[in-house]
Chains A and B, each alone.
Chain A
Amino acid sequence: MKTSFTVNGTPCSLDLDPRVTLLDALRDHLDLTGSKKGCDHGQCGACTVLVDGRRINACLSLAVMHDGDQITTVEGLSENGRSPLQSAFVRHDGMQCGYCTPGQLCSATAVMSEIADGWPSHVSDTLAGPYAMTREELAERMSGNICRCSCYPGINAAILEIAEEDVGYAEAAE
């Protein structure tokens, strides 16, 4: 099946077996192996990518469902791999083995905009927002991304540091 979408700003046209997931299309057909396959079941979050700005598990989605979509993977989060968030992950040791890291970074990117956009979570006091980036909100919203090395302290410290520095985010949360 022919399908076309944009990945990290680059238009891509593929002719795929309809069984190919978005994750396998990225990894095996576009050589973007930054997105990881941890379970192929939507249970671990390692494959998290952004589709039109929203995070999804790429393993739970068929590639042919994304015709016309704008997809961002870890390779597209910055030009040099050293965005403030990526640098903060290194500085706070927000990874050990590194296999969940791309998913954590994509999720974290989406979490910051979800909070800024006033989306509630399970631990939010109200459904109406606005919401602040508290540790509790962050931990809840990042819980779809498992880290077996258990780098949650470093991951959270990195995201909180960037969220505080992000003026646009802080204004939106007020």
Chain B
Amino acid sequence: MTFDLKIDEPHPDHRADGLAQGVLGHESDRPDGWLKVAGAATYAAEEQADDMLHGFLVRAPKIGAVTCPNLDAVRAMDGVRSVLRDPRMIRNAAQGTANEAPVQGVDRAAYVGQPVALVVAATFEQARHAAQALVVSVEEDDVPVLPDTVTPEEPEDQNTRIGDLDRAMSEAAFKVDAIYTTPSMVSAAMEPHAATAHWDGETLTLRGSLQMLKFNRNELADSVGLDPKHVRVLAPYVGGGFGSKLGISADCVAAALAAMELGQPVRVVQHRRHVFEVNTRRSETRQHIRLAADAEGRLTGLGHEALVSNLPEEEFAEPVIQGSHFAYAASNRHLGMKVARIHRPAAGSVRAPGESVGVTAFEVAMDELALSAEVDPVELRLRNIPETDPESGKPFSSHRLEAALRQGADAFGWSRRHAAPRQQREGEWWIGTGMAAAFRVNMVIEAEARITLTHDGATIRSDMTDIGTGSYAIFGQIAAELLGLPLSQIDVQLGDTRFPPGSGSGGSFGAASTGTAVWLAGMEIRQQIADRLGCAEAELTLKDGVATVANQRTTLHDLLSDETIEGHGHVKPGDAFEKVRQATFGAHFAEVAVSDVTGEVRVRRMLGSFAAGRILNPRTARSQCHGGMTWGIGMALTEELTHDRRDGHAVNRDLAGYHLPVNADVPPLDVHFVEELDDWAGPMQAKGIGELGICGAGASILNAIYNACGARVRDMPATPDRVLAAMPL
């Protein structure tokens, strides 16, 4: 039996509010937290075996045809078991949901850093040493590496023209017409990509650091040439992903090939410097934003055209304009994308692809409009909230931007702000505040989960991952709430392709997709219990292991004895996405200090106000928002992957050169959740929260910099040199 749900219609019956256990929607510990603080959670490179071999990837130092002239000499080095130059090795990590092998091959490097060999030895030290001794000769190809030196592709389906934007601009009372740029950025998850592969002659078992196992299994099987039914992928604990582990990665395929060749387990861990090259980066963007407004600041025209890049044969293009389609009303619109085919490392999804950089630049432009129209920035957003989707005319499933703006402004103390820049000074520091709105599309993807109930408690199984998002916690809460069990009696098992296929982690869809599958599985069990007790499911109260129907109490123990009841939930996206526009909304507020002497920016406090449907666990949801807001600090101030102008290589490809926010860079972060139940989001009325926090967060900081010192920075990040150059004398 399976409880299936295709989300075609709204779910106005708020069943979660009528359940008895009282854990869903409340703060609770992460059950995996106890393993993590004890150092007992097992990540991809931490499985031990006596006969484990170690592989080290070798990168192409240039772009072009690759040969390895001293291959035989390296194969004879101490401890070396093999040097793989296998055509099945992959060029770069697969894109999210690719479900098939990415571009493969080792004879031609398409970008600097492409893996072209795997050295396998008895120990890690031997493998690393031999990998460094392998000579990689490259007959160089002359290929473009700069986005503005090629004629970009202009995908027609990514081009929207409504009305006459040029005319709206010429007739506007107030307007903005400016170029904004963001650099390449990387996920930089703390756990480097790693894989441990076992081959028993028939089945390949791979423990990896991956986000979407049902796709990853197929990608791996296709890469190495196996039937997916002979491939098992495990990833119970994943040390962060942020998009970089959506698709199968080079370490996984290489480890699998080596294990299959040598008949011994092989571990391959990407060196941190490999991580910056071999996995997908966030594309740099060049964004032309045009805003036309009437005398009251109401938008009459809106333009957002973006240039991004990627390698040949990569379908992904950073969807910069995704949020601009629905963020603001304006009757004249031009949104378009251009993709430059260049030979920098592959681009792909990084936390909130599209809105993270698109909304950020757009919200800086909105700040510029607010200043020129002399309208308060919060008020400007309020005046431009659309009644319905501004392009399709579809209704919004739920739209809480106004509440997010008003409640956020109140909590932050926005009304005490000086509207004009350069009004507050403390010694060498200019003090200012800024805000931005947050927008993010909401998605559901197909997911399954199974719950097994015995009189001792329940076990949830899905191949879903927890990459730090809180899957273990919220799935346990959903099941506990439906089945009336304390959290201590729920066991959540994730990250194994032998379990029902979940959604995987990505696009903020994990909680609402696999979470809904868990909900459906729980509902199926409730139905079976109701059948046994001869009542309707809705008449059943389950709490603390006791079923109550019309004052008749039956313990789970009496009800089940030694039996097991199973529920299997299966959710699919449906017509809801055709009928309504669904998104999450929020508002960011920031206070900064800017040094008049050095241009250094210190963020003093931030507040985020977010509406994402039902919040399943405020504690884990808040942590996700902290993460997004902190990424906004990085995007605004420090994060930039620099490419060499000659060969496109990633110059600052480690954590000393690529500057992530550290503890001292992050001020107290205040997170406020706006009450919302989105009936179109499924039976829990919950939407995704993992990415909303980054969308526009950087803009609130950039706008605060302007308010503090009058420096308008349109090229991110706002490093001290850029701030000083933009500061009025």
Contact = CB atoms under 8 A, between A and B. Distances in A.
Binding site secondary structure of chain A: loop
A75 to B, nearest CB: 5
A15 interface: no
Nearest to A38: B190
B282 interface: no
B20 to A, nearest CB: 25
B39 A99 contact: no
B240 interface: yes
Contacts of B555: none
A153 B669 contact: yes
B42 A41 contact: no
Interface in A26-51: 27-28, 31-41, 43-44, 46
A31 B48 contact: yes
B450 to A, nearest CB: 25
A150 B661 contact: yes
Interface residues on B, range: 35 or more
B240 A97 contact: yes
Contact of A43 (B37, B655, B661): B655
Of B191, B619, B668, the most chain A CB neighbours within 10 A belong to B191
A95 interface: yes
B666 interface: yes
A60 interface: no
Given A27-B46, A33-B46, A146-B662, A98 B630 contact: no
Interface in B655-694: 655-656, 660-666, 668-669
A81 B40 contact: yes
Contacts of A143: 662-665
Interface stretch (A85-93, A126-134, A166-174): A85-93
Interface string A52-63: 000000000000
A101 B660 contact: no
A21 to B, nearest CB: 9
A22 B52 CA distance: 19
Contact of B38 (A19, A43, A81, A145): A81
Of A44, A99, A145, A151, the most chain B CB neighbours within 10 A belong to A99
Nearest to B78: A17
Binding site secondary structure of chain B: loop
Contacts of A90: 29-30, 33-34, 37
Contacts of A35: 39
Of A32, A145, A149, A150, the most chain B CB neighbours within 10 A belong to A150
B37 A40 contact: no
A162 interface: no
A24 B36 contact: no
Contact of A95 (B37, B269, B271): B37
Given A90-B29, A99-B190, A146-B190, A39 B654 contact: yes
A100 interface: yes
A139 B664 contact: yes
A86 to B, nearest CB: 4
B32 interface: yes
B469 interface: yes
Given A93-B622, A143-B663, A17 B123 contact: yes
Contacts of B630: 150, 152
A140 interface: yes
Contact of A149 (B124, B240, B619): B240
A150 B631 contact: yes
B125 to A, nearest CB: 4
Interface of B: 29-30, 32-43, 45-46, 48, 123-126, 129, 187-192, 237-242, 269, 271-272, 467-470, 619-620, 622-624, 626-627, 629-631, 654-656, 660-666, 668-669
Query: Would you list the 10 A-B pairs with minimal beta carbon distance, nearest first?
Result: A34-B39, A81-B38, A99-B239, A97-B468, A98-B36, A96-B468, A150-B630, A74-B39, A43-B655, A33-B46
Interface of A: 17, 19-20, 24, 27-28, 31-41, 43-44, 46, 73-75, 81-82, 86-87, 89-91, 93, 95-102, 105, 123, 135, 138-140, 142-156
